[in-house]
Every structure is written in structure tokens, then in C-alpha cells.
Amino acid sequence: MEAVDRAGGEIFAQTVAADGSPGYWSLLITHRDSDVESVEDMLSRADELIFGNGDPNSTSGYLVPSYYVFAKNGVDASTAFKRTMNSSHETNALSVANQQVDVATFNTEGMERLEITNPEKAEQLKVIWKSPLIPSDPLVWRTNLPEELKAELREFFYAYGETEAQREILEPLQWARFDESSNDQLLPIRQLELFKERAQVANDDSLSTEAREAQLAELDAQLDALNQRMDELQASADDAPATAMTSQ
């Protein structure tokens, strides 16, 4: 993000993992027999539920659900539930599978590993929420590169991975290919950074009430703008299949 914001960089591609995914996703999971079917169910009954939150340093286990599930719904996860515990991804998943915790954070990478290493436990889990994509690594070029050079770079990277020799080079990196991307790839990361900044401002006792409210209002306006842009992109993605079908 700093390369884009401070160094005249622009995202033009992103890595794609060997399994074809362009990143990974944060999850909320319950036991498959639980009658909690959605975030709405969970929040409406939070005072009855034991919640397994992630390590505070975890993006997918803590930061992402803290913003998208709790902050956006005006809920404090540390006080809303009957009991809240902070654990690793694996501990959370096994606790839900063993019905020791009602709802917990997890992620798609952890789910894939659990399906391989402990499929019986994985079968006990039910996903009730999936986050926006947490994108994989981007490729950045200087914005002021000549258009001819940009075209050559696009042609090279977007086709890379088609030959066996290229796939052998990418394999140790656990990459399959490079897909087209743009600075919009950073939107979820920008949201999370603003959310962290907002939390710091809200808890900064050195600020006067007026200064705190002014800074929070500015951060909220920036978050609203990001949310609007993400909604526009999602609507465009949702319309794409329908448009393609209509044209056939």
C-alpha cells in the first residue's frame, strides 16, 4: 500500500496460489448441528453463546471479523457474548468441532488444512459467514512507465505459467500464475487500516472530546467512501454473469 500511496506505484497484477485462489477468506464457524445459521442469529443471541475469537495479531482470525462482523454492527465482541476466548485458528476450529465453543473465527486456509489432517473434525464444522477476499500479493509498477512497456509487462505476466518450465519456476513459490489486478485490490486492506486507526483514536485519552469526535468523523467518512466503492465493485461483479448471458 505504501508503494501505491507514497512511491508512485500502481498495481497491475496479483499472484494466484497453486490451488487457484486469489487470496484467502476469514470465516465464522459453528458446529454443524448448531441452530446458529447466520451472523444475525449469532448477534441476536450473543449473550447465550461462547465465542472463540482469534489472536489479536491475526488478520483473518481477529482484525477482519472485528471490523466486518462486529464494528460494522456496532457490537463489542469482548463484552457481547456470554464468554469470549482468544485462541489460535486450529484451537478455535477444534473447540467448535468438540462443541466447547459455540461460534469461532477461522479461515479458508485453515479449513483446507483441517480437511486433510483431521477430516472427521472438519466435517463437524459449518460456515455461517465468509469475509471479503483477503488478497494475495500484488505486483506493482511505476505509474509513469511508458505505455509500450506496460503492455509488454502485461503480456509477459498474464501469460506466465502456461508452459511446464514456467510452472516449475512458480511451484516453489506455491504460485500458479498471475492475474490482472488494480489498486482496488487494496480496498479491504485500507478498510482494516482505517478501522485500526479509528480504534486508536477512540481509545486515545489524550485527545479532547472535540478533537476525538472530529477525527472519528473524518475516519468514518473515509470508511463510508471505501464501503461505497466496494459495494459498486460487488454490484458490477454480480451483474457480469447476467450481462454475459444476455449477450449470448
* Per-residue model confidence (pLDDT) at position 10: 96
Domain-embedded: residue 248: no
pLDDT at 241: 57
| Structural domain containing residue 118 | 26-130
Note the pLDDT of residue 244. 45
SS3 state of residue 136: coil
Q: Tell whether 195 is covered by a domain.
A: yes
Q: What is the CATH number of the domain that holds 83?
A: 3.40.190.10
Same structural domain, 32 and 99: yes
Element counts in the chain: helices (H) and strands (E): 11, 10
Asked if residue 139 and residue 220 are part of one domain, the reply reads: no
Backbone conformation region of residue 20, classed left if phi is above 0, alpha if psi is from -120 to 50, else beta: left
pLDDT at 245: 43
The answer to whether position 247 is within a domain reads no
Per-residue pLDDT 10s for the chain (248 aa) are 788 888 999 999 999 988 888 888 999 999 999 999 999 999 999 999 999 999 988 889 998 999 899 988 989 999 999 999 999 999 999 999 999 999 999 999 899 889 999 999 999 999 999 998 888 889 999 999 999 999 999 999 999 999 999 999 999 888 999 999 999 988 988 888 898 888 889 889 999 999 999 999 999 999 999 989 988 888 887 776 544 444 33
Residue 216 corresponds to which cell in the numbers above? 472519528
pTM given for the model: 0.70
Q: Counting every residue, how long is the chain?
A: 248
CB under 8 Å, gap of 24 or more: what pairs does 118-125 form? 118/94, 121/93, 121/94, 121/97, 122/93, 122/97, 123/32, 124/31, 124/32, 124/96, 124/97, 125/29, 125/30, 125/31, 125/32, 125/93, 125/96, 125/97
Write the CATH number for 219. Answer: 1.20.58.90
152 with 67, same domain? no
- Is residue 35 domain-shared with residue 13, that is, in the same domain? no
